[in-house]
Chains A and B, each alone.
Chain A
Amino acid sequence: MGGQFEGKEKSMRILIIGGGQTGAHLAEKFCEDDHDVVVVDSDEEALAELDTHLDLMTVHGNGADPSVLEEADIERADLLVAVTDRDDTNILACIFARARGVGRTVARVSSSSYSASRHIHFERLGVDRLVNQYDEYARDLYNVLRLPGSIEVADLLDNRVMVVGMSVHMDSPLLGYSLKNFASREWLRKIRFVAVVRGDDVMTPHGDTTFLVGDDVYFAGEPDDIADFMQWAWPEHKRFQRVVIAGGGELGLQLARMLERSRMQIVLIEQDEDRADLCSAELNRTLVIKGDALDQETLAGIGEAEDMAYVASTGSDEHNIIGCLVAEKYGARFTAAQVGKKEYIGIVNQLRLLDRIVDPHLAMINSILHFVRGKNVQAAAILARLPGELIELKLSPGHKWAGKAIQDLQIPDGVIIVSALRGGQVRTATGDLALAAGDRVVAYCLPAAMPKMEALFSA
């Protein structure tokens, strides 16, 4: 959908290596976007499952086997996305794809040593983009820790704008009011409400939409403004003072690196001595502790803190879940765990055992979609609990939106213009903002409104 805003883009032939969770999710997205999709996987059952639900072709075999790639007509593909759980397979598939003339390639890797390498140029080898899944999860978690209480967070416009989802509680100052009531507030000039999720319904909020208890509201703005707004609207969510990370694997290490940019105090617990040494060498102001995160003494040794967040990112789902429960007992206000098994995710959510599960797939899918749609649409994001999409469009000169104020535009129902980027400056899309040619505009679209937007931008 998103790829078709500047003129009707020709549909691509996309080869997906790996039909696991990530591959299946991507395949679904690509099919929706009207691309020709071929999926290669060595698991026949996974392929059969895909084949019954989606209009795509499947090829059985190892994705790094040239003969299998030939069978999948690799030379006709425009894009190859390699998302098996093996780094070497993914990278090899990309290299082979480039050798057979595939225009663009993306590989998922889990080891940071690939992306960190300065001497091996993956682009020259044929891998246009390495997506490190742990980087993506880490960014996801970092966003949540940065904005306590948020349901989810997504970055847009080169991280200049963020979209945040929050729940409206009993004592929220928003409760019972509509946006009209806040017309005099200064934040309304800087914060744009994108969507309200009420039960199973999703609405695009208008001036007279009233906020109720249990609503999930999504709003967008520049990071500083968002932080100020949240201080006002959700004062009970104080910023964390300390983050404890259990597990110094790729995810934990990457998260600690990112958190070092903030003011939070960071503790990283790692059991393995060598790994702990490596972590302490890599990190600057993080306190690295060698020990078992489930051991009471380890936690007691850190000392209690009031505003503590706990992130479990060891390799074991079970360890992570239990770790979070223990940490809660020790006063952690927020717990998050990396959980890979689909079966666990449902149960953990149902029992409300922890505050947040790091969905290993969603963050990476977003990142891959950003890249794939890169030509005309610089960024797009899907939020897990919000149907529809955030799309970014560039106003071409002569487009009928150029030069008009937002309030004068005929915007299809179910579409909200969020913000515009002009000359490196973010402008909140208030009604009186006049759009100009060359603006990069972010809009939120409900699924039903996508065809109308397509028509509007392909004319």
Chain B
Amino acid sequence: MNFKSVFHVIAWLLAVVGALMGGCGLVSFLHGEPAAAWQALAGSSAGTLAAAAVLWVLTRSPRELSRRDGLGVVAFGWLLAGMAGAVPFYLAGAAETPVAALFETISGMTTTGATVLTNLEALPKGLLLWRALTQFIGGMGVLILVVAILPFAGVGGMQLYRAEMPGPSKDRIEPRVASTAKMLWGVYILLTGVLLLLLRALGVSWFDAVCHALTTMATGGFSTHTASIAAFDSAAVEGVLIVFMLLAGINFSLHYRALRGEFAPWWRDGEVRFLLGVFAGATLLGTGLLHHARAAAGAPWGGTLREAAFTCASIMTTTGYTTGDYDQWPAAAKAILVLLMFMGGCAGSTAGGIKVGRIQVMLKAVTREVRLFMQPQAVIPVRMGRKFLGDEILLAILSFVALFLFLMLVGVLAMIPLTPDIQTAASSVITCMGNVGPGFAAVGPTLTFAELPDLGKAILTLLMLVGRLELYTVLAIFMPAFWRK
């Protein structure tokens, strides 16, 4: 790894983070909030910008990024940006320990949405806006943003794009990586703007509309209310959010094509169909199970369907908004939610999880093995869309899934001594690695992660990064080969 080139890009990244924090500080100041609130943001912003400037000067005239450097930029960049972004939470007294503040920020940037803050209404608006912004920049990828707005030489930008973009295939919508990054961020911002206006039209306040638009398109799930979306108590708001959460869970290059007038790829995409099919199936099944459990209490069908649909969309796209306490759901319905947490959204979306495409390929590969067991001479291809997948790609995808599950298992084992019960340990790991947000039991939808010990928060912070950056980028820095010159 070449430190100079790596930290030169990170200097730019910190500058972006510092500038955004400064903006939030300004909002806080203009809202006439107490000095402690805006000073925490302004101070962190100034410190981050100063650090960025020093780093930039120290690393002038860097070399072109190699592939390894790209991984380094993304892994260390996310960590350092998370640290810089955590400062205001600690300074403003919102988070009790530095680890808790880092947990909150990384949870934001990885669009997980797990929180340690227990009373959101009491927090200054500037800080809540910064919290929503951490999700927004992390959603499409803050380094992809850097590539989009700064003139990085092509190859270096490509390494960053590869290391940060989720999904097994890194298809590009434009030949040049800088234009690809611009288009993706353009679509992202456009959809966020549309959502903002829709929420505003439904009577949501400007501040809430902005924050929720930012965290919905990022599939993040940070709300400005402790009760999350239930605070609005509006079927229309929930309906709009369901649609936009699903949109955010779909490959943004398909949205880009649709905006250019090509709708066919959108409809024909196997991942989209699978995602929407799973959503419909899970909603119907969930509604049935919930209704069965609540029939005695005489709960109406409509309310049950509304709760099931919103929860399924929120969990499947790894957003993590809640409208009800799904920890009270019957066990079978909870099991469905766990499966949805594993799957996540499509490749190239802002959603987390293993990704629909990989799950599809895994299912097909397993089916093939079973059929081959019965009929060894059969030649059965595994396809993704129309594309035939060779053994090499198949192996890569299957080993990703296996490694993902293995790391989860290790995480759960590590969390067991740090949590009150196994359900908490398991669900906290699944929800954090899948970048969902709330889990079950002690980290359920109505509770927070505040009660976990600092060590537990640190482990989950690492797992959130591992999940968001799709394993290898983070794991690479633990390899000796990575550090060689």
Contacts and interface: CB of A to CB of B under 8 A. Distances in A.
B148 interface: no
B175 A56 contact: yes
B92 to A, nearest CB: 42
A372 to B, nearest CB: 16
B155 interface: yes
Interface string A430-452: 00000000000000000000000
Contacts of A31: 154
Nearest to A39: B175
Interface string A21-56: 000000000010000111000001000000011111
A36 B175 contact: yes
A68 to B, nearest CB: 11
A24 B172 CA distance: 19
Nearest to A77: B175
B157 A55 contact: yes
Contact of A37 (B155, B157, B175, B178): B175
A143 B428 CA distance: 74
Nearest to A56: B175
B155 A13 contact: no
Given A31-B154, A54-B154, A55-B157, A13 B175 contact: yes
A171 B277 CA distance: 83
B177 A55 contact: yes
A278 interface: no
A57 interface: yes
A55 B67 contact: no
Nearest to B157: A55
Contact of A36 (B67, B155, B157, B176): B176
B67 A57 contact: no
B162 to A, nearest CB: 9
A56 B161 CA distance: 13
A36 B172 contact: no
B174 A55 contact: no
Contacts of B158: 55
A267 to B, nearest CB: 49
A135 B178 CA distance: 39
A54 B157 CA distance: 11
B179 interface: yes
B153 to A, nearest CB: 8
B174 A36 contact: yes
Nearest to A52: B67
Interface residues of B, number: 13
A23 to B, nearest CB: 14
Contacts of B154: 31, 54-55
A54 B176 CA distance: 9
Given A53-B155, A55-B155, A55-B157, A38 B67 contact: no
A38 B67 CA distance: 21
Nearest to B178: A55
A57 B155 contact: no
A38 B180 CA distance: 13
Contact of B172 (A13, A44, A52, A57): A57
A57 B170 CA distance: 10
A107 B155 CA distance: 28
Interface string A420-434: 000000000000000
A54 B179 contact: no
Contact of A54 (B67, B155, B174, B178): B155
Interface string B159-200: 000000000000010111111000000000000000000000
Contacts of B390: 44
Contacts of A37: 175
Interface string A51-87: 0111111000000000000000000000000000000
Contacts of B172: 57
A307 B172 CA distance: 57
Contacts of B177: 55
A43 to B, nearest CB: 13
A56 B180 CA distance: 11
B155 A38 contact: no
Nearest to B387: A60
A31 B158 CA distance: 13
A36 B179 CA distance: 9
Contacts of A38: 175
Interface string A208-231: 000000000000000000000000
Contacts of A53: 155
Interface in B46-72: 67
A55 B176 CA distance: 6
A409 B174 CA distance: 41
Interface in B333-380: none
Contacts of B157: 55
Nearest to A13: B175
A342 B93 CA distance: 66
A53 B177 CA distance: 13
A44 B391 CA distance: 13
A269 B351 CA distance: 68
A69 to B, nearest CB: 15
A53 B67 CA distance: 10
A382 to B, nearest CB: 20
A426 to B, nearest CB: 39
B265 to A, nearest CB: 10
B410 to A, nearest CB: 31
Interface string B114-158: 000000000000000000000000000000000000000011011
A76 to B, nearest CB: 10
A13 B154 CA distance: 15
A44 B389 CA distance: 12
A55 B162 CA distance: 12
B183 to A, nearest CB: 12
In this complex, the member of A31, A44, A54, A55 whose beta carbon has the largest number of chain B beta carbons within 10 angstroms is A55
Interface in B393-409: none
A138 to B, nearest CB: 34
Contacts of A57: 172, 174-175
Nearest to B171: A57
A168 to B, nearest CB: 35
B263 to A, nearest CB: 15
Contacts of A36: 174-176, 179
Contacts of B67: 52
A37 B157 CA distance: 16
Interface string A386-421: 000000000000000000000000000000000000
A52 B154 CA distance: 11
In this complex, the member of B158, B174, B176 whose beta carbon has the largest number of chain A beta carbons within 10 angstroms is B176
A13 B179 CA distance: 12
A44 B392 CA distance: 12
A56 to B, nearest CB: 5
Interface in A1-34: 13, 31
A44 B393 CA distance: 12
A118 to B, nearest CB: 38
Nearest to A67: B386
B256 to A, nearest CB: 12
23 contacts: A13-B175, A36-B174, A36-B175, A36-B176, A36-B179, A37-B175, A38-B175, A44-B390, A52-B67, A53-B155, A54-B154, A54-B155, A55-B154, A55-B155, A55-B157, A55-B158, A55-B175, A55-B176, A55-B177, A55-B178, A56-B175, A56-B176, A57-B175
Nearest 10 Cβ contacts at the A-B interface: A55-B154, A36-B175, A57-B175, A57-B172, A38-B175, A56-B175, A37-B175, A55-B158, A36-B176, A55-B177
Interface of A: 13, 31, 36-38, 44, 52-57
Given A13-B175, A36-B174, 11 more contacts: A31-B154, A36-B175, A36-B176, A38-B175, A52-B67, A53-B155, A54-B154, A55-B154, A55-B176, A57-B172, A57-B174
